[in-house]
Amino acid sequence: MKNLVDHLSQYASYHRDTRNIATHFVGVPLIVLAVAILLSRPGWSSWALADLWISPALLATVAATAFYLRLDRPFGIAMGIVLALFLWIGAHLAQQSTMVWLGSGVGLFVVGWAIQFVGHYYEGRKPAFVDDVTGLIIGPLFVVAEAAFLMGMRRKLQNSIEGKAGRAHKRNLKKAAV
């Protein structure tokens, strides 16, 4: 079974252009939020569970958080907090009209993927999930890891990933086209 370095290194190998990484800081959260919104219906409020909105999004959030915690406790906690916030937003929007719920979910999903495809244009490479569907769950973790690296945290992990995937750089599109 793959560990944190294996997952992040494989994903990072598809994301070495700094412009692509930058687009992921916007596109991936929009997509994850959109999925939380769209999976928040059907749902119902449970008074027995402190007004918790029970929905497929809740189940997906619990499963994803458990996966992230198994890979790495600090990143798992960070992901759990972000996913809980997105779950709360999704539950709120799911209780609005169908137009508000569906419009926000689909709209964020489309915009998020458009941003992703711009990033992969810069990269000159297809998204990681095309070759390995686990890229869909590793993408959000990659964003959290990259944010930690930018803040000077987890240098040993960053060095391990860069040792396998290479350092991030700005790629010259003219050279890439030749």
Q: Is residue 48 part of a domain?
A: no
Query: Could you tell me the pTM of the whole model?
Result: 0.88
Q: Could you list the mean pLDDT of each consecutive 10-residue stretch along the chain, which spans 178 residues?
A: 93 89 96 97 70 87 98 98 96 94 97 94 82 89 96 96 86 51
Backbone angles phi, psi at 126, to 5 degrees: -70, 160
Question: Is the bond preceding 42 in cis, omega lying within 30 degrees of 0?
Answer: yes
The residue segments making up the domain with residue 151 are 4-40+58-177
pLDDT recorded at residue 169: 81
3-state secondary structure of 45: strand
Q: Is residue 46 part of a domain?
A: no
The number of distinct structural domains making up the chain is: 1
Q: Is residue 85 part of a domain?
A: yes
Q: Is residue 47 part of a domain?
A: no
CB atoms within 10 A of CB 37: 28
Q: Is residue 50 part of a domain?
A: no
Alpha carbons 123 and 117: distance in angstroms, whole number: 9
CB of 24 closer than 8 Å to CB of 62: no
Q: Residue 124 has which token pair?
A: 């000159």
Alpha carbons 2 and 65: distance in angstroms, whole number: 17
Q: Is residue 127 part of a domain?
A: yes
Q: Is residue 62 part of a domain?
A: yes
Q: Is residue 53 part of a domain?
A: no
As beta bridge partners, residue 169 has: 17
